[in-house]
């Protein structure tokens, strides 16, 4: 039981730390995979948005993959 509580606390702390880093960052680099719901951008505060999104080599991915990042714009 204690291990379960410690894992939850670790996840909560990690989420808060990543969200704080993303809030302070001037530039965020991510792949289509890391921009998905299970990637680090899941910690990004929903009220925030990026001013510009650049998708490198977007012609090599399916439209559904690169559309993931538009939820942050």
Question: What confidence tens digit (pLDDT) does each residue in 1-52 have?
Answer: 899 999 999 999 988 898 888 888 888 877 766 766 777 777 665 666 677 7
The upper half-sphere exposure of residue 19, i.e. CA atoms within 13 Å in the direction of its Cβ, equals 13
* pLDDT of 64: 64
Whether the model pTM is above 0.85? no
Helix or strand holding residue 17 (H, E) = helix 2-24
- The stretch 46-69 carries a mean pLDDT of 66
* pLDDT of 59: 63
Check pLDDT > 60 for residue 73. Answer: no
DSSP secondary structure code for residue 36 in this structure: S
* pLDDT of 57: 64
């Amino acid at each position: 039981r204690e291990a379960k509580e410690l894992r939850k606390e670790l996840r909560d702390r990690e989420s808060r730390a990543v969200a704080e880093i993303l809030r302070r960052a001037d530039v965020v680099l991510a792949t289509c995979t890391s921009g998905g719901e299970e990637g680090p951008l899941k910690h990004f505060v929903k009220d925030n948005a990026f001013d510009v999104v650049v998708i490198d080599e977007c012609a090599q991915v399916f439209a559904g993959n690169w559309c993931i990042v538009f939820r942050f714009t």
